[in-house]
Each structure stands twice: as structure tokens, then as C-alpha cells.
Chains A and B, each alone.
Chain A
Amino acid sequence: MEIVIRAENLRKQFGDVQALKGISFSIARGHCFGFLGHNGAGKSTTMRMLYGLSTVDHGYLQLLGEQVKLTPPHLKRRLGVVPQEDNLDPELSVMENLQVYGGFFGLSYRQARERGRELLDFMGLSGKENANVEKLSGGLKRRLVIARALINRPSIVILDEPTTGLDPQARRLVWQKLRTLKAGGVTLVLTTHYMEEAAQLCDELVIMHEGEVLAEGSPAALVTRHVQPYVIEVHLPREQIPPDIVEKAAAFGGEAEQMAHALFLFSKDGKKLWQSLAELGLPQHACYLRGAHLEDVYLKLTGRGDNLI
């Protein structure tokens, strides 16, 4: 497996704030690699380092076989970037946006128009060529930004929160397009705070929190490694939860976790625990049994410090 991006012990300091506290990761060609974490976790700082808006001051970053301090133009030529904030030219039409951006890569406006047509088609924007960018919906704008990022036929596409603020249909459409890109051999690097997005798209991901990588692996491996297969969510206010719930749950093979100020009971045998709810002093109607997923891993790993039990 060819590694296209390798980072070792990246650190970044902004004044008193340590945005990255020594993170390491490697991304294989053709994979979709995710950075999962909430705002301020250091995801965007990492992305900015990859696409040349931030310098590598401490640690080592290798991009497409070259060590990088500030990503140089000849490497940026091979990247596609979908920034967190849409930065389209509002005065220009959809096609003009693609032409101007293609122009930045040295494409003639005619070449950019041809590629632009294909890309608009690919992103489901055909017929919008002459539309005013300002009048597009958030979802259409986002799709246009993705189309624009592909104008130079990049081998790596960096997507900083590609679907934040999109409705469910638009989000799924973007996912579908990203899968198609990946199938075509493009390496995807994406940040998100949507667990579902990470679970659906990523081959590998890291969970970041306050500038550190807490865990890494495939979504399924992370779930197996960090939580038990079943979980019961308890939708009760804290006062109504028996104070000795940790011990009680343990007696029935359950593991009580307080995450994001709510109670979760993890278990290898979800059914058995579910049948014991009455003995735990929890009303069944306020509980919900489901298989564990990535969000549980995320909450468990990042929620440390606000345990209330």
C-alpha cells in the first residue's frame, strides 16, 4: 500500500493555545481517511497544513513523497481542496467560477469550460451553468465547491467538513459522489463531526480531541475495540437514575457510562440487560436498545471529564 500522506508528531502552537499536540497518521493511496472531532479539535489546522495555509513548525509531514514545511505550488497542483467555508466568487456565474478556478491551474477558459461541463454533470449541476452563484442553495453551492476542487483532476481531495449545514438529501448525494471519486482511485481526506458520515465513507479515521489523536482505525475496528456491541440509552433526568447504577449494571454484565451528561449502558448481551431493566430501577419506556456505533466510541473517548456519576 502506497502512503501518500505521512505525518509524525505534528505540533502547532498559536500563542498560548496548542492547537496540535503531536499527532501522527498515515494515509494510503485510494483510501478515504477521516478526521473526526468537534470544533477546536485541531482538524482544520491539520487540513490547512496539508494544503499550504499553515506551516509545519514541529514534527514531520510528507506529502506525495516529499517532505513539506509549507506545501509548495507544485504539490498543490495535485490537490483538490474543499474548504470549510464556501469561497466562490459571488459576482460570477457557476461556469465562470469553474473557469476562473481552472485558470489558477493554468487551464485556458476553454479547457476549463469543457472540464467544468463534465464536473457539473458529475455533481448533478448540469443546467446551472449560467446560474448566479449567490442564488444557489447551500447544498448546490457545496456541490459546486466540490466540482471546482476537481477541475485540476487531483489525486488527493481534501474536504474540510464537506456536508456541514446540508440537508439529509444533499448530504447523501455528496456522499454518493465521494464514493464514486474514491472508486476512481482518488484519495479522500475529510474532516467531519458527523459520525454517520465518517462511518459511511471512511476506510480509516482518527478521533481527535483538543489537538490529540485519541484513537485510530477503521470505523468497525474502533467500535469493536472501544465499546461493547450493544448499548441501552437511558433517557432520564439525572435525579431519576438510581445512584448505585454502576454497581447494579455491573452485576448484570453491563457497563454504565455517563457520556455527554446522559447515561449509556454497554453490554455484550443487549437482550439480557434489557430484560433486567426493572431490577436496575430503570423504566423500559425511557430506554432504547441498539447496536453500538462510532458515535458511542467518540462520546466515550472525548466525553471524559464530564462524568457525573
Chain B
Amino acid sequence: MMAWYAFKRHLTVFRRTWWSNVAFNFIEPFLYLSALGIGLGAFIPQIDGISYIQFIAPGMAAAAGMWAATFECTYATFIRLHYQKSFHAMLAAPGTVAEAVTGDILFGALKSMLFGLVILIVIGLWGQIQSPWAGLIPLFLLLPGTVFSLLALAYTGITPHIDYLGYYVTLFITPLYLFAGIFFPVSSMPAWVQYLAWVNPLYHSVEVCRALVLGNIYAALWLHVAILLAYTVCLGWLPAYLFRKRLIT
């Protein structure tokens, strides 16, 4: 139950700050879509039979989900953990570390969905949604959102100082972002990079989002979903374990 109460707490706080939070996120995809989609796109005739802007737009939604979960479960969690001592407050109430951490995972996943939805609206207004299947994207983003929340929380759990969170973003999340098949097809890269892409959770998220936006539905999409599920199952225990080591002495 504490996981739900913790999640409710995050929602209560989010209600206070959502406008400044979300509004800011409308701007970035606009910038990317104009700079890359229109600017760079002018030099790129077509990728896989679609225009460049069509190619990158769905990836923007997937990426927004990743960034949202990542920032929530690194900086925001670290502030609650280290500065505001919110975890300590929850643990003084009837709850366990695993439940408090689950509250963060749920919230990270929800933010993935919301921020992905924002981008989806932007690209929809831009006229880049070809299929009603795109309506499934917000729901789907809960899955990669959970994976990125778990990864971020695991790193946050072992981070001694807030400055170290930057390394996670720069050395881990940024490469995932750049080599996920958002800006260019992974198939254009050397074979070993293509293998690496399969390890990249964002790649799977991008593939599914693109398929849904274009209405290009095929059975192998389940494979991407299965890999994301496998990530969730394999990593599910890790943040709670690390947080417990840190909080319970």
C-alpha cells in the first residue's frame, strides 16, 4: 500500500508544478523537429520510404519518455533521498523501502507516459501521425518508462553526491539517445553497433513508437516488447536492494 501512498504523494507535488514542468517540454521537440526535420531534412530525400521529419517524429516521443523517467528517478529522487529526506519520512510511516521505491518507479513510468503524450500531441499538430495505432503509444510508454526508472534508480541508489548524476546522463543516457535509431536507421551503422542497439532499451521503444505512428504493425514488434519486459523483470529487484542498503543501517 505504501507504494500507492508514495505515488499519491508524488502526484500531489506534481499537481503544484506540472504546468512549468510540462510546458517546458513542449518547446524542445518543436526545436528538434524544426532544426532537424526541416533544416537537416531538406538534404535527406527519404529514409525507409518516409520523409526525414516523419522518420524522427515518433522517436521524439519515445525519447521524451526516457528523459522524463531518467530525470525523475535521478535528480528528483536524489533530492528526496538526500536533501528532503522524504524516504526517511515514508519509512517512519508503515512502509518498507521496496514500497517507497516502487512509488518512484510508478511515478517515473507515469511521467514517461505524460511527457511522451505531450510530444505526441506536438507531432500530431504537425501532421506527422499517420495511424490511429498511435493512440496506444502513451500506454506503451509505461513499459520503457519503467525500465528507465529502474535503471536510473539503480544508479541513484549508489550515487554519493548529486554531481555524479551528470555522468549517468552524459555517459549512459545520451549515447542511448543518439544510437537508438531516432535520427538515423541503426541499419546504417557497422554490424557491432547494430548488435549494441539491441541492448539499448530506447531502440526497442523507438521501433514500437515508429510502427504505431506509421500504422506499420507487424508481429516482430512483440519481440521489442518482450525485451523491455525482460529488462523490467531482471532489474525489478535492484533499486529496492540498493536503496535498502543505503537507508537501513
User: Hey, which bits of chain A sit against chain B, CB under 8 A?
Assistant: 14, 45, 48, 51-55, 70, 73-74, 76-77, 79, 81, 83, 85, 87, 89-92, 96, 99-101, 103-106, 152
Contacts and interface: CB of A to CB of B under 8 A. Distances in A.
Nearest to B87: A87
15 contacts: A48-B249, A53-B88, A53-B92, A73-B94, A73-B95, A74-B94, A87-B86, A89-B84, A92-B12, A92-B13, A92-B16, A100-B9, A104-B6, A104-B9, A104-B90
A79 B91 CA distance: 11
A87 B84 contact: yes
Sort chain B's interface into a size bin.
Answer: 20 to 34
Contacts, number: 75
A77 B118 CA distance: 40
A73 B2 contact: yes
A96 B85 contact: no
Contacts of A74: 94
A105 B94 contact: yes
Contacts of A81: 92
A175 to B, nearest CB: 22
A55 B13 CA distance: 31
B17 interface: yes
A203 B17 CA distance: 47
A96 B85 CA distance: 17
A55 B12 contact: no
A52 B1 contact: no
Contacts of A45: 249
Contacts of A87: 84-86, 88-89
A295 B35 CA distance: 71
A99 B16 CA distance: 15
Contacts of A91: 13, 16-17
Contacts of B5: 103-104, 106
B92 A79 contact: yes
Contacts of B193: none
Contacts of B1: 106
A126 to B, nearest CB: 22
B86 A104 contact: no
Closest 3 CB pairs of A and B: A104-B93, A87-B85, A73-B94
A104 B6 CA distance: 7
Contacts of A101: 89, 93
Contacts of B194: none
A297 to B, nearest CB: 30
B94 A54 contact: no
Contact of A104 (B85, B95, B96, B247): B95
Contacts of A152: 93
B220 interface: no
Nearest to A96: B12
Given A91-B17, A92-B12, A83 B248 contact: no
Nearest to B88: A87
A77 B9 CA distance: 18
Given A53-B247, A87-B84, A87-B85, A103 B17 contact: no
Nearest to A55: B248
B249 A53 contact: yes
A265 B17 CA distance: 62
- Most B CB within 10 A of own CB, among A89, A100, A152: A100
A51 B249 CA distance: 12
Contacts of B90: 104
A263 to B, nearest CB: 40
A104 B100 CA distance: 10
Interface in B31-67: none
A73 B92 contact: no
Contacts of B9: 89, 100, 103-104
A175 B18 CA distance: 40
B249 A54 contact: yes
Nearest to A19: B249
Contact of B249 (A14, A96, A103): A14
A77 B2 CA distance: 12
Contacts of A92: 12-13, 16
